[in-house]
Amino acid sequence: MNCKKCDFEFPCEVKFCPVCGARQTEELPAPEPVPAVPAPQENSTPPQYPAAPPPGYAPPPLYEEDSPRYVGFGTAIALYFRNYVNFRTRSTRSEYWYAYLFTSLIRLCCTIVDFALPVKAFSLIATLTFFLPSLSIAYRRFHDTGRSGTIPLIKLIASGLWSAAVTVSIMLLIAAVFGVGDDDNNFWLVALAFIAALLAGIVPLALNIWQMVICCFASEPKPNKYGREPR
Q: Which domain does 166 fall in, by range? A: 150-219
Q: Are residues 173 and 109 in the same domain?
A: no
Each residue's pLDDT tens digit, 197-206: 778 788 888 9
Which of 95, 119, 144 lies at the terminal end of a domain, its last residue?
A: 144
What per-residue confidence (pLDDT) applies to 11?
65
Is 97 strand, coil or helix?
helix
Identify whether 179 is part of a domain: yes
Select from 144, 166, 192 the last residue of a domain. Answer: 144
Residue 228 included in any domain: no
Count of domains observed in the chain: 2
pLDDT of residue 144: 92
- Coil vs helix vs strand at 64: helix
Residue 188 lies in a domain: yes
Categorize the per-residue pLDDT at 6 as very low, low, confident or very high, splitting at 50, 70 and 90.
confident
Query: What's the Cα-to-Cα distance from 3 to each of 10, 36, 168, rounded to whole Å?
Result: 8, 43, 127
Give me the pLDDT at residue 170, please: 79
What's the pLDDT at 191?
73
Lowest-pLDDT range of 71-75, 189-193, 199-203: 189-193
Max mean pLDDT range (57-66, 69-78, 184-193): 69-78
State pLDDT tens for residues 118-134.
877 888 899 999 999 99
pLDDT tens figures, 208-229: 999 999 999 999 988 888 888 8
Strand-pairing partners, residue 209, are: none
Q: Summarize the confidence of residues 26-47 as an average pLDDT.
A: 63
Average the pLDDT over each of 5-9, 128-132, 171-175, 184-188 and give the range with the smallest value.
184-188
Whether 226 is covered by a domain: the verdict is no
Question: Does this model's pTM top 0.75?
Answer: no
CA–CA gap between residue 123 and residue 112 (Å, rounded): 9
Tell whether 98 and 159 lie within a shared domain. Answer: no
Check residues 19 and 216 and name the one with the higher pLDDT: 216
Pair 91, 133 in one domain: yes
Q: Quick one: pLDDT at residue 163? A: 85
57 found inside a domain? no
Task: Classify residue 168: in a domain, yes or no.
Answer: yes
**CA–CA distance from 227 to each of 28, 141, 142 (Å)?**
67, 12, 12
Choosing from 89, 111, 144, the residue where a domain stops is 144
Predicted pLDDT at 77: 93
Is 78 within the bounds of a domain?
Answer: yes
173, 117: one domain: no
Q: Is there a domain that residue 155 lies in?
A: yes
Q: Tell whether the model's pLDDT for residue 13 goes beyond 70.
A: no
Query: Are 135 and 107 in the same domain?
Result: yes
| pLDDT, average across residues 161-180 | 77
Instruction: State the average pLDDT for the chain.
Output: 79
